[in-house]
Amino acid sequence: MDTAIAAPKAKPASPPPSWAWLGTLPFFTFVFAFLLLPSLTIMAGAFRDRDGNFTLDNIAGLFQPLILESYRTSIELSVVTAVVGASLGALLAYAITWGGLSGRIRSGVITFSSVAANFGGIPLAFAFITLLGRTGALPVFLRNTFGIDLYAAGFSIYTVQGLILAYLYFQFPLMLLIMVPAFDGLKREWLEAAANLGGTTFDFWRYVGFPILLPSFLGAMVLLFGNAFGAYATAEALTGSKVDVVTRVISRQIRGDVLYNPGLSYALAFGMVVILAISIALYVWLQRMTARWLR
């Protein structure tokens, strides 16, 4: 080791068996205790019956209507807020980078978005109830001013629609924060080059900007999906028991309320991890594509 330091140019031909990996042991022990072991407990529990024998009954139990419905609700909520949030966030990122808005607006938007992206959970739910609840500011305003009754028209904040509106509050700012560096990475010279070659601004975005941004756009959208899919506190505080998202079904299982079935609760948690793992595999793949594209 000391010789390697003395002569950094000379690569050691075959290093002696090293014990250096032992230095990472505290990290791996910690990760094992607080991440892997709990995950393994869930996985093992998902495939075991009350007596500890292997079974697929718990997984099969996921396919009962109520539980499928909760997964469907969660996935719908996550897909809608990811797609809408990503589109809105990307448009806003475009507006503050290429749209000719002033630098002060740009930094204001970025700071406000950083706050909003981290402003999930309980206070967010409070704010949306005040704004859109049955006697909230907006429904009352619309009723008194335009005679439009949102709640009579079928709207309610205590539904999936309400959750979508509330989740968007942190989804599109998060998208903005991810996309601003990507838009900054597009060089203005490319636009000039496209113009010199006779292309229009639309051609530039169609053939240069859009293809370059697409992978990071899709990757970020996957991130937003996971962000909404795992959300619990906001749903709990906003809709309570009125909307069953998977995270709330799991929370009820932890509390041991209704139809308590330990095996099923493991399977529920396992199902969430599987769905997120698929979305993250997609994310990693898209990141690789981005890297290759930009090389």
Partner 1 sequence: MTGQRSLAIRLFAWAIFIICAAYLIVPLVTQFDYSLRARRGEIGFTAYANVLSIPEPDKVLQVQTSPFKINLNLPRFYSSLLFSCLMAVLTIIVSTAIVVPTAYWVHLRVPRLKPVVEFFTVLPFAIPGIVLTFGLLRTYSGPPFSLTNTELGTVALLVGGYTIAVLPYTYRSVDIGLRAIDIRTLTEAARSLGAGWPAIILQVILPNLRVAVLSAALLTFAIAIGEYTLANFLFPDERAFGSYMASVGNNKIFEPAALTIISFVLVWILVLLIQRVGRGTGQTQMTGMR
Binders of partner 1 among residues 191 to 230 (CB under 8 A) are 201, 226-227, 229-230
Nearest to 173 by CA among 288, 279, 85: 85
For partner 1, which residue of 138, 142, 214, 289 counts as binding (CB under 8 A)?
138
* DSSP reduced 3-state for 245: coil
Closer Cβ to partner 1, 60 or 115, answer by number: 115
Q: Measured from the CB atom, is 172 or 212 closer to partner 1? A: 172
Euclidean distance between CA atoms 156 and 165, whole angstroms: 11
* Site for partner 1, residues 52 to 81, rule: CB under 8 A: none
- Give the largest Cα separation in the chain, rounded: 84
Whether the CB-CB separation of 102 and 211 falls below 8 Å is answered with: no
**Interface segment toward partner 1; rule CB under 8 A; list 64-72, 105-113, 144-152, 206-214:** 105-113
Residue range at the interface with partner 1 (CB under 8 A); choices 47-55, 59-67, 111-119, 206-214: 111-119
Residue 10 interacts with partner 1 (CB under 8 A): yes or no: no
* Residue 294 binds to partner 1 (criterion: CB under 8 A): no
Question: Of 122 and 153, which has the nearer Cβ to partner 1?
Answer: 122
Neighbours of 237 (CB within 10 A): 17
Residue among 167 and 212 whose Cβ is closer to partner 1:
167
Q: How far is the CB of 31 from partner 1 (least distance, A)?
A: 5
Interface pick for partner 1 out of 56, 57, 69, 111 (rule CB under 8 A): 111
Rounded CA gap, 83 and 77, in Å? 10
Q: Which of 28, 190, 207, 260 binds partner 1 (CB under 8 A)?
A: 28
Binding to partner 1 by residue 183, rule CB under 8 A? no
Tokens of 285: 């793949």
Query: Number of helices (H) and strands (E), helices first, in the chain?
Result: 15, 0
Does residue 150 interact with partner 1 by CB under 8 A? Answer: no
Binding residue for partner 1 (CB under 8 A) from 118, 187, 192, 257? Answer: 118
CA distance 273 to 269: 6
207 C-beta neighbours (distance < 10 Å), count = 12
Of 231, 218, 224, 206, the residue nearest 282 (C-alpha): 218
Choices 31-39, 60-68, 147-155, 209-217; region in contact with partner 1 by CB under 8 A: 31-39
Query: What's the burial of 257, exposed, middle or buried (CB within 10 Å: 0-12/13-18/19+)?
Result: exposed
